[in-house]
Amino acid sequence: MHPNRKISCIIVGVIIFSSFLSGCSTLSNILGVSVTINNEDVCDNDGFAGLNINFSCTGTIYLKTFGVDDSEMDSEPFFYGDHQVILNIAPYRSSANQGEYKVKAYDGSNNEVFQETISLNGADLTIDSCSQKWWKRDAWKGGYSLIGLIIDVTNNGDAPAYPYTAEIIADSKSDSGDILPCVVLPGESKTIKCYLYLEDEPSDSTFTLNLKDSDDEILSSNTYDVVFTDTVNVEKFKWSYNGRSLSLSVPYPDFLHEYYKNLDQIVLADYSLYVFDKYDDTYLDLISDQLQFTTSTQTDMDKINFAAAFIQNLDYRSDVTEFDDPNYPLETLFNTDGGCDCEDMSILTASILDRMGYEVALLRLTNHMAVGVKLDTISGYSAYDSGYYFLETTSKNHVVGYIPSAYTSKPGLEIYKIDSRALLVHNWYDGNLTIFKNTERGDVVKVSTIVTNLGLATVENVVVEGVFSTENGLEYNEWNTIPLIKSGMKAKTTILIDIPSDMETDFTTRVYLSNKVVDEVESAESFP
């Protein structure tokens, strides 16, 4: 069992709901069950708009929330006792719209025993100010490029706002950038940041700024003067290729780099997630554009080797352990800790070559990582595996196709394609299981899971299974199906499963995609 599990004792009482939304209080009897409502607390639940509810119940109930279109948004089971829960009222990073939301309770026979309607005006976001980050391109093309916005906003509504993209309209053209993940709570003023890449200066003296949600609906809009002010620090890279000394000056993406440095580590063998993450895509477009502008080479092999040489000339350090704390591409580019290792350089190389339009993969080997590049043929070299040519990223002057002798036998090879696919991981909400003892159905475990799609493709019919297993192979399981998870989004589902009696078991949750296990989490201890 998880060492931090929460244990609820089973006693007798009535259903009582209490929360915190401006002064509503009712007392009613529905199907013989007493219900007291004080108010509801609208909150952010780690990226989901939610309701914070405190209540007690007399027996088994399912507490559910419903959106403005009456679709079920969240559901959790509870047994007799006092409880506190946050139930979601909107999908991940979606603002709760204006309208009526419902909280309902159902008994063990699926009879509705309680219903409360909550009316929300929704988020009301205003743009207070917008600072522009212009990069003076100097020797590259001259003039300026817009590479970021810092926007002050206020939420005057009664629901959390989740600005998702910033759109600039100038010269009758629209350009968009992703806003770094954030929430603006009701009554809150906040600074939000967006990295975008407007390559050419607009001829218009003004631009329209639209803040949009994840459904591409406009949350707020304003018009600003174009102000060409050089507010960006520049970093200079030097490297050599085919005997030529080269240099490249690029704008330093300060707040974007800071964002990546502060991200929590994700433990997963498939390091493609560091390539798939979308917030640095625009900056990597800028890097790949400049690399292609700098070289006069025309063949695919020359273009690939030219880009690889840029990365091979970065400071290298070997792994402390087999694979340790991989970097996102921006962390590798602007590393100040004495160099980066093989997986860091492979992730950066794969990211840039992918932006340049090449079909690439990460080649994970025992104690090493390299890049695979899919090409028709390379004179003098053979494909390494599955049509991919080997590309070593940690040694200078190693060209695509060359295979160092240590890796010709392909020790422990795993291939992770950089393509449009889903990549699912999950965790237990708050890292905990909830154990209910001595209920009418015995001892049970409740686990709420958050499934995250780190990949680039939308997936349907994701199955989440909770399973007790014994050392002799017996399994006891329950499962739920999540209809759809878009790229970069999360979904929640809750599983209730009986604890097997009179035997020692281990508890695991598994995520299935197309009947294949793609992720699993195990409890730290056995049951009982």
The two structure tokens encoding residue 54: 């405190």
Nearest partner of 138 among 207, 205, 227, 236, judged by Cα: 236
- Cα 353 from chain centroid? 22
The residues, any chain, with a CB within 8 Å of residue 457's CB and separated by 6 or more, are 420, 421, 422, 487
Report all structural domains of the chain as residue ranges with CATH numbers, in order of start: 1-122 (2.60.40.1930), 125-225 (2.60.40.10), 234-417 (3.10.620), 421-528 (2.60.40.10)
The angle formed by the CA atoms of residues 197, 199 and 201, to the nearest 5 degrees, is 120
Residues 41, 20 contacting (CB under 8 angstroms): yes
**pLDDT at 4 (0 to 100):** 33
Q: What is the pLDDT of residue 140?
A: 59
Give pLDDT, residue 306: 94
Residue 30: its pLDDT value, please?
Answer: 42
Token pair listed for 57 = 């119940």
Amino acid (one-letter) located at 490: K
Residue 417's DSSP bridge partners are 361
Q: How many CB atoms lie within 10 A of CB 410?
A: 14
Amino acid at residue number 161: A
pLDDT at 125: 97
Instruction: Say how many C-beta atoms besides its own lie within 10 A of residue 223's C-beta.
Output: 11
User: Residue 349 carries which DSSP code?
Assistant: H
Rama region for 488: left / alpha / beta (φ>0; ψ in -120 to 50; rest)? left
pLDDT tens by residue, 392-417:
999 999 999 999 999 999 999 999 99
- Is the pLDDT reported for residue 345 higher than 60? yes
Stretch 387-394: mean pLDDT, rounded? 97
By CB atoms closer than 10 A (0-12, 13-18, 19+), residue 274 is: buried
The C-alpha atoms of residue 19 and residue 210 are separated, in whole angstroms, by 34
Confidence of residue 83 (pLDDT cuts 50, 70, 90): confident
Question: Rounded to 10 degrees, what is the CA torsion of 138, 142, 146, 147?
Answer: -40
C-alpha 209 chain-centroid distance: 25
Backbone angles phi, psi at 16, to 5 degrees: -130, 125
| Of the listed ranges 25-29, 179-183, 234-238, the one predicted with least confidence | 25-29
The yes-or-no verdict on residue 457 having pLDDT over 90 is yes
DSSP string over 126-185: EEEEEEEEEEE-TTTTSSEEEEEEEEEEEE-SSS-B---EEEEEETTEEEEEEEPS--B-
pLDDT at 136 exceeding the cut of 90 = no
Tell me what pLDDT residue 322 has: 52
For the chain, first and last CA: distance in Å? Answer: 8
Q: What is the mean pLDDT of residues 74-99?
A: 91
Q: Which of 314, 323, 223, 312 is nearest to 274 (CA)?
A: 323
pLDDT at 139: 59
Mean pLDDT across 153-175: 96
Tokens coding 370:
């390299």
d(C-alpha 140, C-alpha 287), whole Å: 12
pLDDT tier for residue 3 given thresholds of 50, 70 and 90:
very low
Taking alpha carbons only, the member of 139, 137, 206 closest to residue 169 is 206
The helix-helix angle for 281-294 and 342-355 (nearest 10°) equals 80
Residue 498 tokens read as 């009986």
CB half-sphere exposure, 272, CA atoms < 13 A: 23
Mean pLDDT of the chain: 88
Q: 486-516, pLDDT tens digit by residue?
A: 999 999 999 999 999 889 999 999 999 999 9
pLDDT (tens digit per residue) in 14-35: 332 222 233 333 333 344 344 4
Contact between 466 and 477 (Cβ < 8 Å): yes
Cα(7)–Cα(13) distance, integer angstroms: 18
* 323 — pLDDT class (breaks 50, 70, 90): low
Lowest-confidence region among 138-142, 315-319, 324-328: 138-142
Percentage of the residues of the chain whose pLDDT score is greater than 90: 70
Structure-token pair, residue 197: 């890449």
**Whole-number Å distance between alpha carbons of 73 and 363:** 40
State phi, psi for 401 to the nearest 5 degrees: 110, -30
| pLDDT at site 441 | 84
Task: Report the length, in residues, of the chain.
Answer: 528
Q: How confident is the model at residue 181 (pLDDT cuts 50, 70, 90)?
A: very high
pLDDT of residue 472: 87
pLDDT class of 79 with cuts at 50, 70, 90: confident
For the cut 50, the answer to whether the pLDDT of residue 224 exceeds it is yes
